[in-house]
Amino acid sequence: MYDAIVIGAGLTGSSAAWALSRRGRSVLLLEANDLNHTLGSSHGTSRIFRTALASPLYAAMAGRAQRLWTELEDESGTGLLRYTGALDFGEARRPGELHRAVVANNVACELLSPEAAQERWPFFRFPTQVLFHPQAGVVNPEAAIRAMLSVATGRYGAEVRTNTRVLKAREDSDGVHVETDGGTFRARSLIVAAGPWLPEILPEILTEAPQPEVRVTEQNVFHFRQSRAGDEWPVFVYKGHAQLFGLPSGGDAGPEPAIKVGRHDPGKRVTPSHRDGVPTEENRELITRFVEEWLPGLEPRSIRGDACLYTTTSNDDFILDRIGRTVVASPCSGQGAKFMPAVGEAIADLATENAPTEEAFALMAHAQL
Ligand SMILES: Cc1cc2nc3c(=O)[nH]c(=O)nc-3n(C[C@H](O)[C@H](O)[C@H](O)COP(=O)(O)OP(=O)(O)OC[C@H]3O[C@@H](n4cnc5c(N)ncnc54)[C@H](O)[C@@H]3O)c2cc1C
């Protein structure tokens, strides 16, 4: 009997396995595919990290995650988070309002005129004021998963089984029976961290509880080569006619320095098994036009396009809750990566301390009624 079984070795499940195992809990992590496969939400080498967030709840969580990213880097001996600073701009992003909220959350930031910002980052053009915050950068999700799992297994004795799909689970008085296509396992608690597969697997586990309403969508990102290799690009979020984000591509578009620009607006509704995985021409054109107009430091022809899945609740809040012996964790909505070590910690609190659920993260707050 394990203390905890975790379903899913994306960023969420790997964070949970790391957090639980470093508390001395015995952990079995079950992953339906190979590690770092490209079918879900955690593949690639770059995600935006930032602490400048309007919501006090998420800003505090990002601050906690920042400290835990450093602990993970120390424990694993791997660099995972690279600071670049971040820029927010665009009419609908409301940089002035965001500035007030971020200051209220005690996060360092600076509001700049478009001219002052352009002088500092001449490879951008800005249609509005710009919010700059230095405590932001790029986290590498694939390296993070490897680091979490190598520490969890190597140092703390967690076990990982890949290519093992959970089919269903049932609770009884002393534990949870987890049935997979490779045998049955037992644990004191179960963590469901199945990302976009949540709507498929959760009804097989919480058979009587209301199911959360989540939307699984295919999102697109495109990579553009930097005109000058030496430019130090910050990450950015733009909200105007569309909501776009950008960040250094890491290794995702080859060895030459490139910037990944993605579209955050609701994507195409899909399921993990019914999707084509091909970026749309509409998104490529919209993003290319944006690059031509506002990012003069990039060559305005995308060198690669990728697709990835968001799992989003109706108000973008996470689901982090416990029912009986089962913890449900769905921290995506296109923004989960940055928080992951803190998400793992919250999952461990729910699983081992029976900690109270944050109201905004409760299953009932997202239930289909
Ligand atoms: C295009 C894109 C850009 C993003 N950009 C950012 C960003 O800049 N900053 C940021 O903070 N966040 C970002 N995110 C969000 C972040 O990447 C996600 O929040 C995070 O990767 C979610 O991880 P997950 O573990 O919940 O899901 P996944 O990575 O999908 O992992 C779920 C795992 O569960 C496994 N699984 C499912 N069902 C079963 C089963 N029955 N049995 C066993 N295993 C199962 C799957 O195989 C999968 O490996 C982005 C997401 C996307 C898609």
β-bridge pairing 136-139 and 268-269 = unpaired
Work out the average pLDDT over 23-52.
97
Work out the average pLDDT over 31-50.
96
Tens digits of residue pLDDT in 192-236: 999 999 999 999 999 998 899 999 999 999 999 999 999 999 999
**Do 86 and 48 meet the contact criterion of CB atoms below 8 Å apart?**
yes
Question: pLDDT at residue 368 above 80?
Answer: no
For ligand 1, atom 41, name the residue with the nearest CA: 166
Q: What is the CATH number of domain 2-46+142-213+315-366?
A: 3.50.50.60
pLDDT at residue 354, rounded to an integer = 80
Domains of the chain, residue spans: 2-46+142-213+315-366, 82-138+215-313
pLDDT at residue 326, rounded to an integer = 97
Same fold across 2-46+142-213+315-366 and 82-138+215-313 = no
Tens digits of residue pLDDT in 98-118: 999 999 999 999 999 999 999
Task: Report the phi/psi class of residue 344: left, alpha or beta, with left for phi > 0 and alpha for psi in -120 to 50.
Answer: alpha
Q: Which of 310, 332, 340 to mutate to test the pocket of ligand 1 (most atoms within 8 A of CB)?
A: 332
Quote the CA–CA distance of 225 and 136 in Å, as a whole number: 22
What ranges make up the beta strands (E) of 68-195? 81-83, 86-89, 110-112, 130-133, 136-139, 159-161, 166-172, 175-180, 183-192
> ipTM of this model?
0.99
Nearest to 214, CA basis, from 171, 271, 258: 271
pLDDT at residue 322, rounded to an integer = 96
Percent of the chain with pLDDT over 90: 93
Q: Which of 5, 30, 43, 47 to mutate to test the pocket of ligand 1 (most atoms within 8 A of CB)?
A: 47
Work out the average pLDDT over 129-150.
98
Q: Which residues line ligand 1 (CB under 6 A)?
A: 7-13, 30-33, 40-42, 47-48, 141, 165-166, 193-197, 201, 219, 221, 245, 262, 308-310, 331-332, 334-338
Q: How far is the CA of 94 from the centre of ligand 1 (A)?
A: 29
Q: How far is the CA of 122 from the centre of ligand 1 (A)?
A: 34
pLDDT at residue 19, rounded to an integer = 98
Work out the average pLDDT over 303-309.
95
Percent of the chain with pLDDT over 70: 100
Reported confidence tier of residue 333, pLDDT bands at 50, 70, 90: confident
- What class is the 82-138+215-313 domain? alpha beta
Work out the average pLDDT over 279-302.
97
**Can you tell me which atom of ligand 1 is nearest the CA of 165?**
42
Q: Which of 6, 41, 260, 343 to mutate to test the pocket of ligand 1 (most atoms within 8 A of CB)?
A: 41
